[in-house]
């Protein structure tokens, strides 16, 4: 987050920078803590968002992303995701019922 920036403003800015998409933040999906370098802890908030009406619909990878794309359930099942991420997204009600698990990465 930038100084003086709200969490929602930071989310909107980061998504725009990394994907070119304009979004609206709807709600917090859940929070998780992950180990950080030098013994610190990252406090990560995952949010449910939707495309803004005036947003492009095709994401474009920004300078911090190798690639970005929309995926359906079949392709999601082939992706590598952080250990435990699929279970958290399911627990938080973010993934639709019946989506296959992604591969732990």
Q: Report the SS3 class of residue 89.
A: helix
Residues linked to residue 81 through DSSP beta bridges, in sequence order: 104
pLDDT of residue 47: 96
pTM, to two decimals:
0.82
Q: What is the CATH number of the domain that holds 39?
A: 3.90.79.10
Q: How many domains does the chain have?
A: 2
31 and 3 both lie in a single domain? yes
16 and 63 both lie in a single domain? yes
55 and 30 both lie in a single domain? yes
pLDDT of residue 82: 86
The number of helix segments (H) and strand segments (E) in the chain equals 3, 4
pLDDT of residue 46: 94
88 and 46 both lie in a single domain? no
46 and 90 both lie in a single domain? no
32 and 59 both lie in a single domain? yes
In the predicted structure, residue 105 carries a pLDDT above the cut 80: no
36: its two tokens: 């950080």
Least confident of 6-15, 18-27, 79-88: 79-88
Question: Could you read off the pLDDT of 24-78 as tens digits, one per residue?
Answer: 999 999 999 999 999 999 999 999 999 999 998 999 999 888 899 999 989 999 9
Enclosing domain of residue 40: 1-69
């Amino acid at each position: 987050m930038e100084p003086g920036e709200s969490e929602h403003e930071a989310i909107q800015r980061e998504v725009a920078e990394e994907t070119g998409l304009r979004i609206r933040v709807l709600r917090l999906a859940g929070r998780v803590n992950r180990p950080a370098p030098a013994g610190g802890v990252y406090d990560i908030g995952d949010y449910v968002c939707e495309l803004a009406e005036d947003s492009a619909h095709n994401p474009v990878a920004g300078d911090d992303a190798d690639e970005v794309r929309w995926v359906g359930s079949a392709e999601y099942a082939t992706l590598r995701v952080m250990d435990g991420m699929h279970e958290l997204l399911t627990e938080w009600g973010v993934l639709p019922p019946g989506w296959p698990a992604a591969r732990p990465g």
